Structure 1
Amino acid sequence: MDTLPVPALDREDHTWVAERDGMSSRARTAAASGPYRSAVVPAIAVYAPRLPVDLAADAEEATAALSRFDSYARAVLGADSPTLDPMSSILLRTESTCSSQIENLTVGARQLALAEIDQPSSGNARVVVANVRAMEAALELADQLDEHAVLTMQAELLRGQRGWEQHAGRYRDGLVWVGTSALTPRGAAHVAPQPEQVPAAMSDLVRFMRRDDLPVLVQTAVAHAQFETIHPFADGNGRTGRALVHALLRAKGVLRSTTAPVSAGLLRDTDGYVDGLTAYRAGDARPIVERFADASRFAAASGAQLVDDLAAQVDDARRQLHGLRPQAAAWRVIPHLVAHPVLNANLLTTTLGLNQMAAQRALAQLADAGVLQERTGKQRNRVWQHPGIIEVLDVYSQQLRRT
């Protein structure tokens, strides 16, 4: 099988002096010190891929699948449907959740929805909400695709991680590596370039991303792999790099209306994803392009099923409200249940502009019809949920983890 050559990493020699961390023995700290090699990332701004015929066809087919999914979601919901934006929001959150799961940050649909309305939830949920904000920033800034846009994505991400705020929106000033030891880069799977090399490497990557003469999925996979190789931040590199994927797919016109769960596809084979990044650093981009092609096809197929399942829940909710007067505020809430399967009166006042009395009345109407369930049992700070939508989202996530 033909490879897809890409400039391979060079490496340079350095010496690491480990510092006592209060948990490691003196002997272990001494063994952690010594020579190591860090990456020197080659420039790719003018890289011209020589695509094998079969890989070119594979990438083109996967790109077309993503475009069809985008058109399908728009057709099912209707260009002017009030459900289109909420559906796009939940697909973006699904993608953010899957991207976080790759980093072993797992959170259920209810926990995430609670965190979205500022209700007490798990620490992981707050981190995933920050990942949602990073994805939103990626899409909003897709038209510019410059270093400021990348820094903004990472800043949104780290604002949700306590203790990392000082690293938000800035390139790292220290060494980072991918490995099992926090004490030393020696023996790490990948030691990123020295921090002083990061700005030039990122400037080169931005020039590559802004080109319009490359197959989109190949450009996206290579840009992502190059970003992960540079590892420009103290933290959040994986999630920022996957947000960048969606900025590229939006900027290049592949996904115009919604977000496809590409990270869900990558999550199905995280070993293959990591192996693809390793092969890229060794000079072969074929495995990472193949992984993105597979992930894109899965995203298109599973995303379409997810759209159908969620749209069915919305249709059921409308049927349950049959007989309620058309002017009732409950009807206005229905489309937003997809994006907010857990909600309270404050959410309706900010999202729909209802006053508190109208919001409480709408929630009561939805609960009386069996659309929503009140889960707190309190008289104040009450929270309602749509169990069907939560179940659809959790089943989707559980299927990925089982795979």
Structure 2
Amino acid sequence: MDFIKNDVLTRLFVRYLAGGSSLRQTRGVTRAQIALFESQAGFRNQAVLQQAHFNYVFNKAISVFINQGVSVNSLCRANAILLNSQPDDTIRKVECKVSAPNGERLYIPPSPDRLHALMNKYVSDVKCQEPGLFNTIINYSRLVNIHPFYDANGRTARALAFAQLHKQPSLLLCFLYRLSADKDDYFNALHHYDVTSNEYVDCDYWSQAKMWAEETSSQCLNLIDTVNKKLTAPFILMPQAQVHLSVIRFLWFHPVVFLASLAKKLQVRIDYLQSVIKSLCDNRILVPRAMRYPEGTVVFECPQILATFEQIDSLLKNNLPRSINED
């Protein structure tokens, strides 16, 4: 099976990038709850619905940049998707200030009369760049400092960074370093750049972020690879094992499944899929769970994958590089 570890890892990053206050918004929502909602078995919970919505629109914003590239139009469209607004209404027409959660003023962005010229220059500079981490850092920081939109400037900048590095999760991971780093260091790193910066400025924060990303990404990818080999080992040599392997691959993206929706998504006859699910349950890869609501509904979850996701989440939030721990 063509198992793509990087795709699994990048999917896990989204929940930490998609919200306005990512850590606060994800604390009360588990991976299992999101997976249960996505199984289409009928599970509903307000916090889960909110997080699922954040994830969905963030992925749509990423797709805008991947499919259309960077332009003033694509930036406005991505921001409008995040805020459920119209692209023509996204660029702000009023003065504003950027404040920390405690109310402390951090930064006064450019006045509205400068925004169109700054955005045009920004897009022109981005189009002339070679792809890579350092240019993505410039683009991310610079867009946050231009602060062209009424809201979701950080989310728009993160969606652009995700699009520019989505094939290189070890580099993309640098933008999750803020989950573990000192907030002041993060804000200071942002302000190494002004609204016209187009050269990378080396600073401790981004150097540490890169080191942390390389170490953590390697650990995460090895963990996924090890668990996947355990999951697929009982079936790899089995005649006609393709559906078993397809279900296991699907589980890495949706670790809780509902038989009816799974059959539709994989385009497999439900009677044949039932035998595959039974085989996966016999091998303790899947575990049936009866739902309280809708009453009588049964879903199947993969404890090993859910446990793997918990381990990865722990690494993303707590795995600081040695040199940082020693300071």
Q: Is this a same-fold pair by TM over 0.5?
A: yes
Residue 258 of structure 2: aligned partner: 344
Q: Matches of 2:256 and 2:87 in 1, distance apart? A: 29
Aligned ranges for residues 3-402 of structure 1 at < 5 Å?
A: 81-84=1-4, 87-99=5-17, 100=19, 102=22, 104-106=24-26, 107-118=29-40, 119-121=43-45, 122-130=48-56, 132-134=58-60, 136-137=62-63, 140-141=66-67, 144-158=69-83, 165-166=84-85, 170-179=90-99, 188-212=105-129, 216-249=132-165, 255=167, 260-271=172-183, 272-281=185-194, 290-321=204-235, 325-327=239-241, 329-377=243-291, 380-402=296-318
- Report the TM-score when normalising by structure 2: 0.77
Q: Secondary structure at the match of 1:105?
A: helix
Residue 258 of structure 1: CA displacement?
8.6
CA distance in 2 between partners of 1:180 and 1:256 (Å): 30
Structure number with bigger Rg: 1
Alpha carbons of structure 1 residues 215 and 129: separation in structure 2 relative to 1, 3 Å: closer
Q: Which amino acid in 2 is paired with 1:133?
A: N
State the superposition RMSD in angstroms. Answer: 3.5
Matched residue count: 306
Q: Contact between 1:320 and 1:371, CA under 8 Å: does it hold in 2?
A: no
Deviation of residue 274 (structure 1)? 1.3
Per the alignment, in what secondary structure is the counterpart of residue 104 of structure 1? helix
Quote the offset at 1:393 in angstroms.
1.6
The structure where helix makes up a greater share of residues is: 2
Q: How much does 1:349 deviate?
A: 3.1
SS at match of 2:177: helix
Identity %: 19
SS class of match (2:191): helix
Greater mean alpha carbon deviation, residues 89-98 or residues 101-110? 101-110
- Which whole-Å CA distance do the structure 2 matches of 1:374 and 1:264 have between them? 34
Q: Is there any run of 5+ residues in structure 1 with no aligned partner, and where?
A: 1-80, 159-164
User: What are the Cα deviations for residues 290-343 of structure 1, in whole angstroms up to 9, with x where unaligned?
Assistant: 433432332232122212211222211123447865347323212222122122
| Distance verdict in 2 for CA 1:135–1:298, change over 3 Å | farther
Ranges in structure 2 where 5+ consecutive residues have no aligned partner: 321-327
Change (3 A) 1:181 1:331: closer
CA distance in 2, matches of 1:323, 1:215: 41
In structure 2, C-alpha distance between the alignment counterparts of 1:89 and 1:279, rounded to whole Å: 32
Q: Give how far 1:103 is off.
A: 5.8
Q: Contact 2:3 / 2:249 at 8 angstroms: preserved in 1?
A: yes
The amino acid across from 1:96 in the alignment is V
For 1:115 and 1:177, how far apart are their aligned partners in 2?
37
Secondary structure of 1:383's aligned partner:
strand
CA distance in 2, matches of 1:259, 1:88: 11
The whole-number CA distance in structure 2 between the counterparts of 1:180 and 1:292 is 21
Q: Which amino acid aligns with 2:118?
A: A
In structure 2, give the amino acid aligned to 1:238: G
Deviation at 1:275, TM superposition (A): 1.7
**C-alpha contact (below 8 Å) 1:310/1:338 kept by paired residues:** no
Alpha-carbon spacing, 1:322–1:134, altered in 2? closer, same or farther (3 Å): closer
TM-score (norm 1): 0.64
Query: Contact conserved, 1:181 with 1:188, CA < 8 A, in 2?
Result: no
Amino acid at match of 2:244: A
State the Cα distance separating 1:207 from its structure 2 match: 0.9
SS at match of 1:375: strand
Whole-angstrom CA distance in 2 between matches of 1:219 and 1:323? 45
SS of the residue 2:290 aligns to:
coil
Aligned residues of 1:218 and 1:289 also touching (Cα < 8 A): no
